[in-house]
A = this chain, B = another copy of it.
Amino acid sequence: MKNNLLFIHGGGPTAVLNCSLWGALDEAKKHSGTGCLYAALGGTGGFLKERLFDLRELPPDELELLKTTPGSFIGTSRDRLSEDDYRKMAGLAGRYGIKYILVNGGNGTMDACGRLAEACSGMDVRVIGIPKTMDNDIAVTDHCPGYGSAARYIAGSIAEVAADVAGMPIHVVIIETSGRNAGWLAASAALAGPDAADLIYVPERLFSEDEFLEDVTSLIERKRSGIVVASEGLRGEDGELLVRPLRVVGRSVSYGSVAGHLRELIANRLGYKARGEKPGILGRASVTWQSVTDREEAIVVGREAVRAALAGESGKMVGFERISDNPYKIKTKLIDIKEVMLSERKLPEHFINSRGNYVTEEFIDYCTPLIGGQLPRFAKLKIKKTTVV
């Protein structure tokens, strides 16, 4: 009987999701004890439909490209699973001689991972979670693969936009970031440097429209223009979403645009020109802005998951513990999946300034190593009054 291995991806992709797959595959091939390296095509739903593909068949050239390919190479699913589905998956593991199941995903997927481990208890099947989210909101681990690259995308893009706005200071540009409940991604805008993102609003703080308009007024008075970064999930002082959902059909919610709402607020209440931009999926799909650190760490969690499974662990997720910020040092650790399941990690209070319109130095120290090196430097005209004719 071969000790087959199965990969399952769940939830939205990141810029380094396929790096973890590459790391795990590379690690699994080193061990003679492994058999088929199955991918469930399309996540848990694909597994239930027995859509399995042996990744050993992939040509090495194609495999190398995984490290710089966005999306999920083997598909991913967002199906909600019943207790029966978990039992069925455990049965399929037995039928296909699968001894190791590696489940890569975010909060919801870690929940599924824990339930699957539970369903497989009593069998010789080991289930290990690999963390993944651009939103950085998985509990217990210091940070998540996927976040560093998305943060680099936001910081880098905002540094570019800041150069644009400085050259033509006629409007406030509002950039909406992902992160419906947690502000990690919006916060990363601060990495663009001290004169780029001027105001940052995260969902951890209730949003006051009046304070916002005060902030923008003083920004315009000081700089004539500027950049506002806002999480898509801002909530007003009443605790309700600032922009009410347009429509809710079952689990599918159609959200309105926070950037659009704030733009209108500035135009209507201050009479000033404002633009709203929303890069959305472009951010999590951008391998162009992939963080080298993030890529390497995503490979590491893939490898560690395989090692843990082979060592007999189950019901655990691979996570990071930070040893120091500067120099940046981390180590991996195994976390009981029950500690992770469906608990969301928000931006802690000490990462947000007292006004709630920017982040603290502590956050910048935390985030800086994750984006994988400095951003490109741009030319800047420094004019002493005397040099002007």
Interface of chain A residues 42 through 59 with chain B (CB within 8 A): 50-54, 57-58
Choose one: B68, B268, B383; the contact of A53 (CB below 8 Å).
B383
Expressed in whole angstroms, the minimum distance between the Cβ of A41 and any Cβ of chain B is 7
The reply on A96 being an interface residue by CB < 8 A is yes
Contact A163–B278 (Cβ < 8 Å)? no
| A139 to B96 CA separation, bound complex (whole angstroms) | 65
**0 or 1 for each of A57-78: is its CB under 8 Å from B? (1 = yes):** 1100011011011111111111
Q: Among A166-174, A212-220, A292-300, A340-348, which stretch is in contact with chain B?
A: A166-174
- Residues in B neighbouring A377, C-beta threshold 8 A: 65
The yes or no answer to A288 lying at the interface (CB within 8 A) is yes
Q: Which of B76, B170, B378 contacts A168 (CB 8 A)?
A: B76
A281 touching B66 by the CB < 8 A rule? no
Q: Is the CB of B381 within 8 A of A74?
A: yes
Shortest C-beta distance, A79 to chain B (Å), equals 10
Distance of A264 Cα from B256 Cα, bound (Å): 10
As for how many copies of this chain the complex holds, the number is 2
Interchain CB contact under 8 A, A76 and B279: no
Please measure, in the bound complex, the distance between the C-alpha atom of A381 and the C-alpha atom of B387, giving whole angstroms. 60
| A388: Cβ under 8 A from any B Cβ | yes
Interface residues of A in 136-162 (CB under 8 A from B): 156-157, 160-161
Q: Choose from B38, B252, B275 the contact partner of A281 (Cβ within 8 Å).
A: B275
- Beta-carbon contacts under 8 Å, A341-382 to B: 376-381
Residue in B65, B267, B277 whose beta carbon sits within 8 Å of that of A247 in the complex: B267
A41 engages B383 (CB within 8 Å): yes
Q: From A282, which residue of chain B is reached at the shortest CB distance?
A: B157
Take A41-B388, A173-B281, A282-B277 as given contacts and tell me if A288 and B156 are in contact as well, using a CB distance cutoff of 8 Å. yes
Bound: A66/B164 CA distance, A: 13
Interface check A273, CB cutoff 8 A: yes
Q: Which residues of B contact A316 (CB under 8 A)?
A: none
User: Which of B53, B77, B254, B282 has a CB less than 8 Å from the CB of A387?
Assistant: B53
Contact A379 B73 (CB under 8 A): yes
Do A277 and B278 contact each other (CB < 8 Å), given the known contacts A167-B76, A389-B52?
yes
27 pairs, CB–CB < 8 Å, chain A vs chain B: A12-B168, A13-B163, A13-B168, A41-B381, A51-B388, A52-B389, A58-B381, A69-B378, A70-B164, A71-B168, A71-B378, A77-B168, A157-B282, A157-B285, A160-B285, A160-B286, A160-B288, A164-B281, A173-B281, A246-B267, A254-B264, A257-B257, A257-B260, A275-B281, A277-B279, A282-B282, A288-B288
Which residues of A are interface residues toward B (Cβ below 8 A)?
9, 12-13, 18, 38, 41, 50-54, 57-58, 62-63, 65-66, 68-78, 96, 156-157, 160-161, 163-168, 170, 173, 175, 246-247, 249, 252, 254, 256-257, 260, 263-264, 267-268, 271, 273, 275-282, 284-289, 376-381, 383, 387-389
* Given A72-B168, A157-B286, A247-B267, 8 additional A-B pairs, CB 8 A: A18-B379, A41-B383, A53-B388, A57-B387, A75-B168, A163-B285, A246-B264, A275-B281
